[in-house]
Structures are given as C-alpha cells and as structure tokens.
Amino acid sequence: MAILSSSFENLYSFRIIHDVLEPVRLSFKFNSRVSDHNEPHGENKELSEFYTKLYKADENKLRPGIDYKLNLQANLENTRKLVDLSTKPLFEFVDEDILRNRPTFAKFVALLDNYNPQVGVTEIVTEQQQKEEDDFINELLKTEVMKMTYNFLIEKQKLSGDIKNFGKFLKDLWFKRYKRRSPGDSSAFEHVFVGEHKKSKILGLHNWIQFYLKEKNKEINYYGWKKSICNDRLLSLTYIDKDKYEKPIGGIFVGSSPEFDIAVYTVAFALYPKSLTDVDIAGCKIRITCHELSPSEMSTCYMG
C-alpha cells in the first residue's frame, strides 16, 4: 500500500462479445494494410461528444490554480539532448487532501507501490494487493463517470452483463498480469499508470498523480516540457528518475481523476485497440494512442 506522506472465457463472466469482437479485429487488420500507422481520419465526433460528457460529469477532477499549481519552466521543444534546464519541480502545489480523502484517488494511490518496475521480472501478487485492486474497482463503479462508460459500451455492443460483472472486466483488462518480456512481468495498469524500466528508458507512466508523488519524493527529476496544450492540462515532459532511467518525452493529462483516465482508455481500447484517435474533449484537442498485445491485453494507451 502506497503512503502519501513518503512522498477471455474463463477470465470473466462479463466479456467482450465474441461475435462483435471478431469483425472489429478483422476490420482493423484490414485497415492496417491500408495504413501502416492507422492514422486517424479527422476528429472522431462520437468519441469527442462522449468524452466531453464524461469530463463535465467528473466531479473529482482538480481545478487548476486552486487544487494544484504548475511551474513549467524550460521549454525543451527544440532540444534534442536530455538536459536539465528546470531548477524546480513541475508541481508547485497539489492539495493532498484530495488524494487522501476522495475514494478513487486514495484507492488509486494505494496501488502504486505494488509493482517491480523492471521489465522481465515476474510480479509477485499478494492477497493484500488483490484486495487493493478490488477496492479500487469497487470505488470506480460508484462514480457517474464509470456508470456512463458502462452504458456507452453496452450501447456500442462491446460488452454484455450487469455493472457488477463490468467490474470483473475492468479488473481483468487493467490488472491481469501478462508477458512483456517474461511471464507475468507486466500489466496494463502497471505500464500506463505506474511506469516500467527497460534498458535505460522509462516506459509508460502516463499519469499525473504518479508523476507528482515521485517528484515530491525526489524519485523524479523534471527537466522541462516539450508540448503544452489545453491551458497546461495536457503536457509532454522530459525527465529522469532517481536510478537514471530516462523519459525523453512522456505525456500526462493533469488534474484528471483516476476514473476519468480509466474510462477514456478503456473505451479507446475497446473501440480502437490499434489506432490513433483524434478527439476534442471540452475544447481540448487530444490524440489518444492505443496498442494491444492481444485483443484482450492492452500494451499501452495514452493521451498526447
């Protein structure tokens, strides 16, 4: 358990419907032959509308300048080498009462120290860690954001079953361990939200809460930013960690709630698992990138 002060058949009963999934998989295989990169064909209006509704319904998102404050400092957009041109942390202030007291935040933070970041090292999963995963999923399902996500995926015929079984689907998608290099050495949650180490690089870590906590605990040294859009909500950053693993460029969506991020990536992966998807979320133009290891295994999803 992390502490703030220190700084598919038998997998789930609620499953992606087989007869719907197979045509989608064939469609994307066909599309990949047309475009190797699956480039988006303009803004996805349907997802833009849905994500904007999610964003407006999210009562747990933080308010810039009130709940947190940034200090962007050096713009490294035209800098090719990794060089530290920022003398202070990125986060000047975060209201940690939110991280402690809002249930989805608190349950999310409790998960962050459950992983060995080294790719190739099989994860050891304890009963306590499994309980923390269940607690997090249960809190997610109480939110309006996740209820809307459930209804949207039902409407799109990507899912079947009740919302309780939706939780089983979420746990399997995000927390099932899979092989990135060795059996059981990774999971979607670990990669996207926690971050991993491979050779000299940081993989994943597309979450502002994890970045903030690591920076606060002096486990991350912020070098500067490459791109800032949406009034500094969506940032591309350069940094290294305390073990000198590098992140030449990595995106985070600042101030979002855990349920919002989980919802955005779950929907993107269910609909477009091997694509780049352009959306407009409440006036913020974002590209969502997803990659799969298999139709049921998310390799990564991130906003940029």
Residues labelled as active-site residues:
191, 206, 247
Report which of 42, 38, 16, 15 is spatially closest to residue 27, judged by C-alpha positions.
38
Indicate left, alpha or beta for 42 from its phi (over 0: left) and psi (-120 to 50: alpha).
left
C-beta neighbour count of 237 within 10 angstroms: 25
**Geometric angle at alpha carbon 257, from 177 and 263, rounded to 5°:** 55
Cα separation, 270 vs 158, in Å, equals 7
Per-residue tokens: 108: 């999310």
Name residues whose C-beta falls within 8 Å of residue 101's C-beta, 6 or more positions apart in sequence.
none
Three-state DSSP at 157 gives coil
Element (H, E) at 100: helix 96-101
Residue carrying the six token digits 């913020």 = 284
Give the Cα separation of 150 and 222 in Å (integer).
37
